[in-house]
Amino acid sequence: MAKREKGGFWVGVAAAIVYPMSFVLGRHRMVHGERIPREGAALLVMNHISHLDPCYDAMFVHKNYRVPRFLGKHSLWNVPIMGAILKGAKQIPVYRGTSDAQQSLRAAHEALEAGQIVVIYPEGTITRDPDGWPANSRTGVARLALQHDGPVIPVARWGTLDLYNHYQKKFRPFPRKTITHFVGEPVDLSAYRGKEETLPLLREVTDLLMGAVKEHLAEVRREQAPEGFYGPRKA
């Protein structure tokens, strides 16, 4: 049996909150969870459809014996209790549009160098696509992926949008939903490594990674994915 990565007191507190809540609100289904490495660094690239995603994504990683490090909006660190848990569990605040913006990527780099699991939502926020397909993404994910040798794994998650749709202001806990995580094979980036990290190259890698996520999402949904990504391009 695999040995669980130790997360410390605050990760234990988060698990004590997330597991019961997630169980009550939805059933969890995992496809190819064995593709999550039981040790060593890995970058998990995921789609973002609901504000409940981090809860289920944290549980998904924890069920695979690892402790996730999320990149999240820095404003969440100001929320009572949640902020204390995020800080104590060593999650990574993202300061967009400020002089501290690069600090977030540095912290993510350090986590990967330390052999940890980093979870990133390249879209930056929940998608505004009416049907829940991925939106255009920021290229920070490509920088992280290219500057480390660890596996870059696309993961599609579906079901949380049915549970809570932020833009429609709909919370529908009953009947219980099924939340699915589909883990893809690591993406081969050998053709891009060692090249100058120009914006076109970073954009190509970003779209490659999110394209893999979209393909897996289509498989989970048993639907045809749309061409391209929703919304404007983001650097």
Percent of the chain with pLDDT over 70: 97
Closest CA to 160 of 221, 70, 85: 221
Closest CA to 213 of 148, 150, 135, 140: 135
Q: Does 196 or 95 have the greater pLDDT score?
A: 196
Distance of CA 157 to the CA centre of its chain: 9
The answer to whether 90 touches 15, Cβ cutoff 8 Å, is no
**Whole-number Å distance between alpha carbons of 18 and 33:** 19
Instruction: Note the pLDDT of residue 97.
Output: 64
Report pLDDT digits (tens) over 96-153. Answer: 766 566 777 889 999 999 999 999 999 999 999 999 999 999 999 999 999 999 999 9
Q: Which domains are delineated in the chain? A: 37-69+95-221 (3.40.1130.10)
The answer to whether 6 touches 67, Cβ cutoff 8 Å, is yes
Instruction: Note the pLDDT of residue 98.
Output: 61
DSSP state of 230: B
Question: Mean pLDDT, to the nearest integer, of 196-210?
Answer: 97
What does the block give as tokens for 34? 């064995």
To the nearest whole number, what is the mean pLDDT of the chain?
93
The DSSP annotation for 75-142 comes to GGGGSTTHHHHHHHTT-EEE-TTSTTHHHHHHHHHHHHHTT-EEEE-TTSS----TT-PPBP--THHH
